[in-house]
Structure 1
Amino acid sequence: MTDDPRPQGFDTLAIHAGAEPDPATGARQVPIYQSTAFQFRDAAHAARLFGLQEVGYIYSRLTNPTVSALQARVAALEGGAGAVCCSSGHAAQIMALFPLMGPGLNIVASSRLYGGTVTQFSQTIRRFGWSCRFVDLDDHDAVRAAIDDDTRAIFCESISNPGGYVTDIPAIAGIADEAGIPLIVDNTLATPFLCRPLEQGATLVVHSLTKYLTGNGTVMGGAVIDSGRFDWSASGKFPSLSDPEPAYHGLRFHETFGAAAFTFHSIAIGLRDLGMTLNPQAAHYVLMGIETLGLRMERHVANAQRVAEWLEADPRVAEVTYAGLQGSPWHERVQRLYPKGAGALFTIRLKGGYDACVAAIEKLQMISHVANLGDARTLAIHPASTTHSQLTEAQQIAAGAGPDLVRLSIGIENPEDIIADLDRALG
């Protein structure tokens, strides 16, 4: 991008990282390379690409120039060594675990996770022979006790969905380091604008590109970003990365690719065999969305703070979980680890319980009742009857999604209009 040796700022990277003028046409925006396959120069060139001896484009299930530009951009924003993009945030979670896991192995995960992730980890991954142990990550002794010789990762969200709980990433990263396993952080709600987990000790970061990174509710996508710092060969626990790979004539990914081992494996094995590919048009939309990420996040956070303070003072509301509030148990943690703000997602507990939540949802006018978050629009949902409905009531409460809660994703509209719609809905 430039010969300037200075580190570039966040907003500059959000616009320029991974992008150069198109060499064929001079197009300044990254083109949509809507092509299934790419022409080889000759037979030797094709052989080198298929043998992982040269980086290039073969087939868009594996690599595509538009998607590659997005991968470079999200890696730059997170401070990672490399990234792989895929078809959804849920796909990104499986992609992150795939090189690490095998039958009989387990992960330790935060008990405060999105309901769909709880279902994926408690039910779906069992079909692969994997298992998950859910733990309150604020109980560090319990986290250590849950780790055994078959544990291959710790998983958490930087800011949790739906309650807005804020994770002490350095503390959990320290526990992961003690055990010789990676920490995987879902950074969807914080985005790299508010938190860079790799700088706080995480090994891998996952994103739902669907949310704030795109920012307008148009795209499904996911990403996995690798720090490039984990020694995959040290313990013998990660043979997919350290041992000979039969499909590539005994190539050892970590020995061959070093800091890029995880990223190369995720493309050459993960995308090849799982097929969780991000299409180039979606990648283009995400690239455009990221250009304004810093500006949008500032407004999201400012609006969330104002709306949360108004709700906290309202007698119809029993509790507001926003960590930016002075009375939040995580307020000090936000100041220390997330100094730009606590995000824009939180829950409110209504004094009228389940029925009051349903009634409020149905009275909303400007605020959208949808199963999404991180949109420019303010969104609301009742998790207990929707996103977390597969869980028992005890699991819902543990996940911060009890029956008397409404989840709010605060958008970038005028805050007075958000407050007016909530005031009307609360009756």
Structure 2
Amino acid sequence: MKTDRHHKGEWVKSWIRERILFLALVIFVGGAIAYIGTDKFFPRDSLFFHPIKEFSLLIAMIGVVSLGYELFLRELTFNEYKSALEEIVNPDAVRLGITGIYKNRSELGQSMGFEKLFQKVQREIFIGGTSLLSISTNSREIIKDKVLKGINVKLLLMNPDSPVVDFIAKQGRGKPTFINEIRTSLLLLQKLQEEIMHGPDGAQKGRLIIHTYDSIPSHSFISLDEGYPNGLIIADIGPYLGRSVPRPSMVVVNKKDGLYEYWQEMNANMWEQSKTLAHDEKSPPSSSHSRTLVLVSGKETEYCDTKTDTWRPASICQMDHGWRTIKGSQWVWIKEGLALDEARTGSHNKFRLRFNLPPGAEKAIVRSVLYVRSAGACHIAVNDKALPGEYGGANYPDPFVIDIDRYLKEGQNAVVFELISFANPSVTALDGNRIGLAYRLDLEYRE
């Protein structure tokens, strides 16, 4: 009964709020009519003449004030109040135009995926980084769709032949696979560029421009509608030096005297120092006679639902503070997070990656390298053939690297990850026994 009264009260408030402008106009008109009509209905020496006329004037003035507030001041007052409240809570962030800070890319991805991020773009997408492997794999179709709809996309990544790349790969804790990541990403982006160029023509088609640079990257970034009032920049704090240590990300909006202008200038400097990747450069898609697949953990990963014995899409999961990443991939599990009782009792789940190889491809494989990290014990089987050993390494400097070419076949292939989290009854917080899986499969074969 109390709930019904509450809903009824809310409905009345909503009804009044939606019609407040009309009510203000009615009050003003009613008061004005009563003020003017007093002379016609009451003689001037009447006892009620002056009280009614003054009361009508008061009603009309209330209507005028309400009408003016609704027409001119309501939105302004609300925005000023909101701005003042934000400055009280976090004055420096508001002053600098910072709308969010995330401790790593995985946390950023959970908050705003690329689809959501690019949804309101009207003019240009500008992305810069080291290899852009996550863009060339996870966001390939999104980029293609935006270009075909008339939005220009600029991509900036490192030149794999630059001495800086070799320096990063050889420095302490640098990844030896770094150069392969860049080459793979370049190949995928060139093929995407070729698809767009030879695809259906349209008056609204935008441009996909790919540049490479030779210097040490100052930062990675995503810039949307640069320079416009709705402009947004997501910048990683600190340079990438070939390590798996996650970097924080900062989201800034175009606000005067804020950080937006700083990141905008940094992005422009990197673009000016870069050069266009032309189709006549080495390893163009049309003459490579090879096909590259990069398959990563994410939305395409499946897990086995033991209750129904069916495979369902896995979820991007929460990372533990000590976990490292694999370039282009995301940490996954059966759901976003686990309950405390699951952390105490442990769990046993299977995950699956599926892909197809054309006839004869299994005999023409150039490389098929699987990179794996997991929190918990992980057993791997490729096409029902168990791989020896147990894998983990969520917080290792480098992931496990496995060559799986001898297990592949033509047609459909399946890589199954059996993830085991052992019981730990003494756990008092979820971070004590968190579990997840991250992988990337780099596959190249001659056509």
TM-score range, shorter chain: under 0.3
TM, length-normalised to structure 2 = 0.27
TM, length-normalised to structure 1 = 0.28
Rg comparison, structure with higher value? 2
Bigger strand fraction: 2
Give the structure, 1 or 2, with the largest relative contact order (CA under 8 Å, sep 6 or more).
1
